């Protein structure tokens, strides 16, 4: 079955540092890939997505590129802020499947210190 593996956290960075959170997946076919962000005490919000190989999703300074050859969708940001402190989830959904039936990774907690 499908699976998503994220780098284990927690990740602690200083403000303005470069961020990478690794995500690899296992799926049959060509899934859509997502990054969600969960701020403390809240539900998840879609951060970005990519629906086919070599697509780059981007939002709020975050980027991730759909790499079919390495089955990866790593999240990056060039300069993190304290307000980026949150839990980040990588997820995939099979073609023709609703987003609600996505497979989620375990989440990576990011703490950014001033």
Q: Does 52 bind another protein (CB under 8 A)?
A: no
Stretch of residues binding another protein (CB under 8 A), selected from 11-19, 41-49, 52-60, 76-84: 41-49
| Gap between the Cα atoms of 62 and 77, Å rounded | 5
How many CB atoms are located within 10 Å of the residue 4 CB? 22
| Gap between the Cα atoms of 51 and 33, Å rounded | 6
| Gap between the Cα atoms of 44 and 104, Å rounded | 11
Q: Does 49 bind another protein (CB under 8 A)?
A: yes
Stretch of residues binding another protein (CB under 8 A), selected from 23-31, 62-70, 72-80, 101-109: 101-109
Judged by CB under 8 A, which of 1, 28, 70, 98 binds another protein? 98
| Gap between the Cα atoms of 31 and 29, Å rounded | 6
Q: In the complex with another protein, which residue's Cβ is closer, 20 or 45? A: 45
Q: Which two tokens stand for residue 42?
A: 């809240």
Q: How far is the CB of 114 from another protein (least distance, A)?
A: 25
Judged by CB under 8 A, which of 1, 29, 100, 114 binds another protein? 100
């Amino acid at each position: 079955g499908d699976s998503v593996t994220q780098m284990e956290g927690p990740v602690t960075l200083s403000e303005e540092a470069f961020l990478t959170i690794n995500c690899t997946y296992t799926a049959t076919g060509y899934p859509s890939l997502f990054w969600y962000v969960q701020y403390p005490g809240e539900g998840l919000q879609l951060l970005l997505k990519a629906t086919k190989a070599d697509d780059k999703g981007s939002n709020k300074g975050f980027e991730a590129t759909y790499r079919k050859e390495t089955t990866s969708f790593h999240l990056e940001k060039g300069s993190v802020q304290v307000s980026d402190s949150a839990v980040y989830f990588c997820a995939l959904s099979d073609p023709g499947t609703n987003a609600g039936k996505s497979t989620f990774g375990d989440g990576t907690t990011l703490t950014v210190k001033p």
